[in-house]
Amino acid sequence: MNIGIIVYSQTGNTLSIAKKLEEKLSAAGHSATLEEVKVVGERKQGDREFRLETLPDAGPYDALVFGSAVEAFSLSPVLTAYLKQIGALQGKKVACLVTQFFPYPWMGGNHAIRQMRRLCESKGATVCGSGVVNWMRLRRERTTVKAVDRLSRLF
Ligand SMILES: Cc1cc2nc3c(=O)[nH]c(=O)nc-3n(C[C@H](O)[C@H](O)[C@H](O)COP(=O)(O)O)c2cc1C
């Protein structure tokens, strides 16, 4: 399958998980391509005023994984803006990935996933699963392995 992994990652956490997923999907025989959503200039943490610089094209992919951080118990406004701006995702299989600092998905991760799911479904995608990585040290490794494994099995 031709899979695009499209992430916004301000401090590199989500990007590092996306790289692991890209490796795993490639090892399983898929064509996996990692692309980043970028903003113009330096974005201060939590800043809601920004302009998108790169809008990766979801069009060429059969399936997509979208990923970003949880910010203020919600989906990062940057990925939200990106998903609102892109074209239709009709006929595409989509999975959602978020990383968050707090240790449990109910501390923002689940809400961010629900927001991402709704945005993707509003563009016609079929959302087939999701993963939340909790960045706190004690849970990071376990939730990383679980999320990468779960997401890679969806395709
Ligand atoms: C402005 C801001 C708000 C945040 N809000 C939350 C939050 O509500 N819950 C949480 O668990 N982590 C929160 N975090 C932590 C990030 O979700 C976490 O560090 C994430 O892994 C960063 O991903 P990135 O490096 O890909 O940007 C917040 C971080 C920032 C900068």
pLDDT score for 137: 86
pLDDT score for 138: 87
Q: Which residues line ligand 1 (CB under 6 A)?
A: 9-15, 45-46, 69-73, 99-102, 107-108, 135
* Helix, strand or coil, per DSSP, at residue 67: strand
One-letter identity of residue 125: A
CA of residue 28 to ligand 1 center, whole Å:
30
In this prediction, the residues of the chain whose per-residue pLDDT falls under 70 are none
What's the CA gap between 69 and 91, in Å, rounded? 26
Question: Which tens digit of pLDDT belongs to each residue from 83-103?
Answer: 999 999 999 999 999 999 999
User: Which domains are assigned to the chain?
Assistant: 2-152 (3.40.50.360)
